[in-house]
Each structure stands twice: as C-alpha cells, then as structure tokens.
Structure 1
C-alpha cells in the first residue's frame, strides 16, 4: 500500500475540519484521492473509486430502505465515504442507514456546519498531489509493459498484477472459460471485491479485477489497463479463432473420406495410438463447444456435420473433452473407440444415432452397443458383410441401385415411411412396393429387429467402404 495516500481517517483526525464518524468505522483506512460536492440524485453515477462525496443532504433519500440502498450504491461504486454537512437540509438519518454503513465498512461522516466543504477539498488536493504523481509513474510503467501485449500476454498479465496488486482474469463470456489470468495473490480471498469490465474491442470478453480492500485501482488507471489488455487478448482471440477454423476444415475433410496433410500437427501420432471417439452434439451448441475447445487448446477436431455437430477426440484427450462439454451444460453422445481415421464417418453416424435416440438423462452418453468398426475394419471385411447381408442388392444396375438407395434412406430415417417417401420423392405405395422387393431380394424383413440390425450393419459397411462399382 502506498503510505503517502490520504485516508478517511486522516480527515477525521484533522481537527480543523470538524468532522466525526457516524458509522462505518471499519472502513476509515479507505484511500481518498479526491473530494466532490454533489447534490444530484444518485451521486454514485457521478463519482468513482476513492472519491469522497460531500453533501448537505439534498441527495440523501428520506425512507429507511432508500437510505440503505443509497449507502449500498455508494459503496459498490467504490467511493471512499460520504461527508454529510450538519445543515437543516440534511434529512434524519435512520438506523438502517447506519447499520448498512457498519456492515459494509463504508465511512459516514458528519461535518460541522461552520466547516466549508472547500476546506476538505483543499486538504485532499494538497495531500494527494504526490499520489497523482505516482499514478502518472504507474501509467508510464503500464505502457512499458504493454510491449509484451503481442509477444507474451501471459507475462503481461503477471506484471500488471504485480504493478497494481490486483488479481486480473480475462474470461470468455460465452463459455465462461478463462483466457488469461495471473497467479493467485496472497491473502486475497474469494470474498474480496471483484469488478467486471467488458473489453473495448471484444464484446464477448471481460476483465475481472479482484482487489484488496482500500487498494482499489483508480478509474483513471483502469481505462488504460483495459486498453492494454484488449490488445493482448485480441491477439490471443485471433489465434483461437484461427485454430477453431483449422480444426473445422480438417474434420470436414476427414468426414468426406480425405486425410488432411497436416493432421499430425494437431492429432499427434502418439495421441492416436489408443484410438479416438467421435462425439456428437446439437448443431446449435457447436460454435460454443468449438470456441471452448480452442480456448482450452485441446487436440480435438470440431466441425458441423449434415445432422449434428461433431468432435473428434483422441482417447488421451477424451476425459478433458468430456469435462469441458459437461461444464458447458451441453448434451453429447460418444461413439465407440476407433483406430483408423478412415472410419471417422462410420463413428460419426454411430455417435449421431446415440445422440438422436434420446432416453438417457445423462449429459454424456457413450455408445453401449457392438462397435461396428470391429466388423468392418478393412475393405475386405466390409465387402464380406455387404455380400452376406445384401446379396444381389449390392449390384450396380439402375433398378437395383434404386432399391438399395430406398433401403438406405428407410434405415437412415428409422423406418419412418413419410420421411423416407418425401426424401426420395415417391408415393407411399411405391415405397411399399420397393420394400417388398427388397425383402424378396435379400430375404430380410425391415420390420424384424434382427434383420434391421443386420441391414444397418451392412449400410454402415457400405458407407465406410463403398464398393468400387457401387
């Protein structure tokens, strides 16, 4: 703490000012950087941190509840205290006002009628001349530190904390995740006063300032701190957005059956030795999850699919991914574990089916059925499943292709007739005819659970390894 700064107690002990304490004595060590006379309604709007309000009572409300709120608002605005002139215009002070001041440690002073407020103002101005010089020096140091804003924002936050003796945390509003924060400060408890400010250039990001009682950062310096932090965070957010976009492009390619050249830069080969899972979430939750994963710098690919949003998480990163998604309150469904990146499309279908099946109350649902990938890990195995289940329906001629596409659409739409007919642009009677032909060709009935399961596995094998002439 800067010993040269004037405190409320210094004013009380200056006998020539004729000022005594009515309530809030525990806050007498609050710093006073300036003193203002104000009779406007809601003076908290016009005064700021470390400033002393001087009033003859015209701005003080009458009722007990309003007086308590009056003190509370002055305290929340960071004022040093209030000096009430002993004047006929001063309303009767209620016990509720005094109790609120004592509870908050907010000094309420009574200044003798013969003491002009100008005398208090001059005393404060003279005593704080040195403090103003110190503020200018701090401002100079602040802009020296700003050289780290681009190159090393973590160091910048650490140095700003040391300079201003306040805990600084940069938080993403959408996800609630911390983007930057300094180390914990000794003896600064979780109940300490914390103020929140939206950064000038990033509306979705805020700066949280935790301060020791009586050592609040002045509004003059806060304006400059916000500007410097904004520059540092802007650089970081650019990297976060670029990372999310790079992950999106990679996952999009993988789901289309292409392997991105630079995938090892994100999904390290060592991270994939234990396999991976595809996690499905609702499309509306996708951008929030992608931003959070990018902020956390997890090696997890994210991107939108045709029916939902997907995450591709290597097994070593899965627990961190799950915790992050659950903390965000997002419902998710995970596929079984796959080893080959080329199986990602099958895994995505599996995860989507789990997500869309509903029923489970948990936010995170794992695939609990037989992992399809075990049955079709190669083109040879997929061809075997297709031939065994579909038989002649795997032929490439136009009529058979139309029947097969009808089957696949029927399976994809969970055997819903109207949706399937609409998707294919055919009448229900035509759909009925085609399904009967499918049963005749394959010997399998889509209304049978066992046959449906077999047909579904064959469909997944076809998606994973489409026949060359299919």
Structure 2
C-alpha cells in the first residue's frame, strides 16, 4: 500500500541484527518516555518506527512497528479510543507513543484500561522529545546488514515458487528458512489449514513467543507465528511472508469451496433418485459398509468447508427442510467431531445400505432433528425401530415384496389384477363387498381371485399372520412406487 509522504513518513526501516524492545526506549533517559499503560508488553520488539497522523494508521503500519503521533490520529471519544487501541494491537504494532502536546486529546480511562488489558504499550513522550531522536535510537539498535534480509527474502520467494501445489512442502520450507513454527487457521471453521513441523523440538514453552496476525486475502484466515530465542522473524520478512500465505490460503480454500459445491450437487442428484458420477468420485467405495444421513439447521458453510478441507468422502448439501450430510460409517466419528466443534445440532438417521434410500434416510434424519430440538445435545442419533420400516429402505421393501407377493409382483396383466384385488381387500379391512365395489367386479369374481392369490403365494387371506405379511408387503409396494414417482 502506498504511504503518504506528508502524513505518514517512514522514519526508519529496521534491519536485521540486534533488536530493540519497547523497554529499551523507555529506559533511555535521553528520550524522556513515560509508560501510561500496557507495561506488560514492554518486551515487544521495535523493528520500524513511524510518525503517522492519518485516521487509520493501522492500514499503514505493520507488525513490530512503533506508531509515533502528536495526537491528531487519536480519536477523542472514549469508546473510539478503546477501539483504536484494539485495532493497533490486532495489526501487531509494537506500541503507541503520543507526544505531550496540546493537540492531543485527553487519554481516557477506557483507553488506558484497554491498553492494560492487552499489554499494549501506551507511551507518553515529553514535549521537548523530537521523534527523530527516537528514530536514531531504534536505528542504532538495529543497524546490521540489510543484505541478509534481502537474501532471506529472495529465498522465501524461491521456496514459494518451487512448492507449486505442494502446500505441505511449502510450509516445511518456510519453517526451516525462518526457524519458526507457522500455522494458518481458517477463520470460518477454526480448522488448521496449513502448518509447519516443530522448528525447535527442545525449546521450552516459556522460551517460545507466540503471535497472531490476520491474513487479508479473499478468505479470512489467521497466521499463528511461534518464534524461538535468537530467531525472531523480522518485520521486513513478516510482511512478505503474510503475502505469500494469503495467496496460498486463497488457493487452498478456493479449491475446498469448489469441492464443497460439487459435493452439494452430487447429494442433490442422489436425493433426486440418480447416481451422479461426482458422487462416485467423492465417495468411492466408502458406502460398502453402510451410511447414515445427518440433518442440521446451522453452520452449513462451516460444515461443508470443514469436510472439503479434510477431503473426507462425505457429501454435504441442502435438503428439503434442512442441511444434510451423507456420511459413510467409517467417517461418522470425524463428522461428529466437526459437528461438536460447531454450534449446530445434528439429527442422525439409522444405518442404510442402498444409495437409493438416501431420500428415506434424509427424512428420518430430519424427524430426529425435530424431535431433538429441546434435548440440548449437539448430536442425536435415531433410536428404536421405525414403524414403517419398509418405507425407509427401497432395497428392503423390494425384498419383502418379492418374498411375500411372489408372482403377484410381476408386471403381467394377470398378476396386476390379482395384486390390485388383494390390495383393495386389505384397504377395506377384508370387507368383500366394499372391495368388489371398488374394483367394479362381482363378489364371486373377487372370491375367485382371492383363491388364486392363496394358490400363488402360499399364504391365507384369513389367517392373521399371513394377513399381516400381506399388509406389510402392500405398504412396501406403495413406498417403492412413491419413490419411483
């Protein structure tokens, strides 16, 4: 971003070498600096120093940079002062130094409290202290060779160029070059998208310095930087590192979102009764052991992206009344972990085998979600036995139809007449005359057909157990034909 030559002058660009801390400036008597708040952050490094009077100085300054102002950029309202400190700290600045001048607004208690809470150094420079003196002290402490930074920067871009699509290799290379640990977290899901291995396994936790910086690409993300003693990541390098990671994370999350879109289209196809090629590409043979469908009402983007980032063989998309996830049994534990980390509630179907039953599984999952809305549980699975068990599974329904109706399930005209006569007889609670009237036949004709039905199926139209089997087969027939449209 271009800096204004009038209102935002670069007073010094720190070079690699020994690093000045905020406490070094404070302890230098000749510069006359007083700590107003945020004393817990005096160990922050000062690598650059800027005088800036623009209204949003965090847009012009970066990590480890000290903002020096006579107060023109400081808001007067206490709430706005609190937000001002928050923005500067979120941008990674080393601290804020205000000159003791009449143009500066009074420092409010809210501003002091926020700086103290964040350990963000809020400093007051004496009226007679020239900012150029501060700059010279920073320069004297950081006046090593700039060539080393340029060489490291060149190596950084070389690592990025050579990595191509090997994102793990890129992170490993960056970690080795900077001798630091890097982790990039997707802001939408909280999932770690990119990370390095440990740069220094033996370093104690107390010796490590952890910083976080927002990555401002097309996709919101956060860089977690872990530095080790004697191996600080200079501000000059950090700015370029963040740009490399912004481009990389946009590629990774862009690919994940494209995968999520294909997943949603594949699930829509299965719900419509087809088997799209994309579903087979994503799921592979993972459905062999069965699957469950989960219905959920919140966090749809987060769940879809989380599944896509982990490249799980799971389909996520929109259902008729809620969002859905088709989950092979081998992936249930991972989806449950993702669900419990989100704020969504999940209703989960029983286990299904045939891909043609996705619609039935989705309806069952939606019913479970509705029933569990006041349970307080994030993950509720179907319990018990579905009453209309055959209507939930086309495969099971077809097996029962064939096993009970036998020849009556065939497509011939004779089989159709016998089947329709049986179903009318069942619908009218075995009342012969009403069934005959519906069919438009004589009662004796119905009697003849019922005898034929007993001969063809080996079951009785009067025995309770056989009537129950006929009724279940009838319900299964209706379920399958409804699914076929």
- For 1:360, the equivalent position in structure 2 comes to 372
Write the distance in 2 (CA, Å) between the matches of 1:245 and 1:88. 58
Q: Say whether 1:141 aligns with 2:155.
A: yes
Q: SS of the residue aligned with 2:46?
A: coil
Mapped pair 1:458 → 2:477:
yes
1:49 counterpart SS class: coil
Describe the shift of the 1:288–1:438 C-alpha distance in structure 2 as closer, same or farther (beyond 3 A).
Answer: farther
Match of 2:336 among 322, 338, 362: 322
Matched, 1:178 2:192: yes
Matches within 5 A, 1:29-178: 29-41=43-55, 43-60=57-74, 71-87=85-101, 89=103, 101-130=115-144, 132-162=146-176, 163=178, 165=180, 167-171=182-186, 173=188, 175-178=189-192
User: Paired residue for 1:336?
Assistant: 350
How big is the shift at 1:31?
Answer: 2.0
Paired residue for 1:224, among 235, 240, 256? 240
Q: Match for residue 187 of structure 1? A: 205
Structure 2 contact 271–359 (Cα < 8 Å) conserved = no
> Which residue of the other structure, out of 1, 5, 11, is the alignment partner of 2:25?
11
Listed as ranges, the gaps of 5+ residues in structure 1 are 408-432, 444-448
Matched, 1:383 2:398: no
Cα distance, 1:309–1:92 mapped onto 2, change above 3 Å: closer
CA distance in structure 2 between the aligned counterparts of 1:245 and 1:205, rounded to whole angstroms: 19
| Corresponding position of 1:410 | none
The 1:244–1:156 alpha-carbon spacing in structure 2 relative to 1, beyond 3 Å, is same
Relative distance call for 1:95 and 1:164 in structure 2 (3 A) is farther
The answer on whether the counterparts of 1:280 and 1:308 sit within 8 Å (CA) in structure 2 is no
Q: Distance in 1 between matches of 2:294 and 2:106?
A: 64
Residue 153 of structure 1 and its aligned partner are, at CA, apart by 0.6
* Shift, 1:104, TM fit: 3.6
1-side partners of 2:382 and 2:54: how far apart?
A: 62
Deviations 1:132-162 (A, max 9, x none): 5444333222112203543421232244345
Task: Name the CA shift for 1:172/1:26 in 2 (closer, same or farther; >3 Å).
Answer: closer
Question: What is residue 345 of structure 1 aligned with on the other side?
Answer: 356
Deviation at 1:345?
1.5
Post-superposition shift, 1:99?
5.6
Q: Cα–Cα, structure 1 residues 383 and 179, in superposed 2: closer, same or farther, change >3 Å?
A: same
Secondary structure of the structure 1 residue equivalent to 2:168:
helix
Contact 2:350 2:382 in 1 (8 A): yes
**Contact 1:150–1:235 at 8 Å: present in 2 too?**
no
* Residue aligning to 1:279: 293
**Matches of 1:312 and 1:154 in 2, distance apart?**
29
- The separation in 2 between residues aligned to 1:328 and 1:311, in whole angstroms, is 15
SS in 2 for 1:384: helix
Does structure 1 conserve the Cα–Cα contact (< 8 Å) formed by 2:282 and 2:313? no
Q: TM-score, normalised by structure 1?
A: 0.66
Unaligned runs of 5+ in 2: 1-15, 425-433, 451-460, 462-467
Q: Which residue of 2 aligns with 1:198?
A: 216
User: For the Cα contact (< 8 Å) 1:376–1:382, is it kept in 2?
Assistant: no
Query: TM-score if structure 2 supplies the norm length?
Result: 0.65
Q: Which residue of 2 aligns with 1:28?
A: 42
Shift of 1:336: 3.4
Q: Distance in 2 between matches of 1:221 and 1:46?
A: 16
Q: 1:130 aligns to what SS in structure 2? A: coil
Q: Tell me, yes or no, if the aligned pair for 1:83 and 1:108 is still in contact at 8 Å.
A: yes
1:49–1:79 contact (8 Å) kept in structure 2? yes
Does structure 1 conserve the Cα–Cα contact (< 8 Å) formed by 2:260 and 2:304?
Answer: yes
Say if 1:168 and 1:216 are closer, same or farther in 2 by CA, change over 3 A: farther
State whether structure 2 residue 316 is matched by structure 1 residue 297. Answer: no
Alpha-carbon distance between aligned partners in 1 of 2:59 and 2:478, rounded to the nearest angstrom:
67
The alpha carbon displacement at 1:14 in A equals 4.1
| Whole-angstrom CA distance in 2 between matches of 1:105 and 1:337 | 53
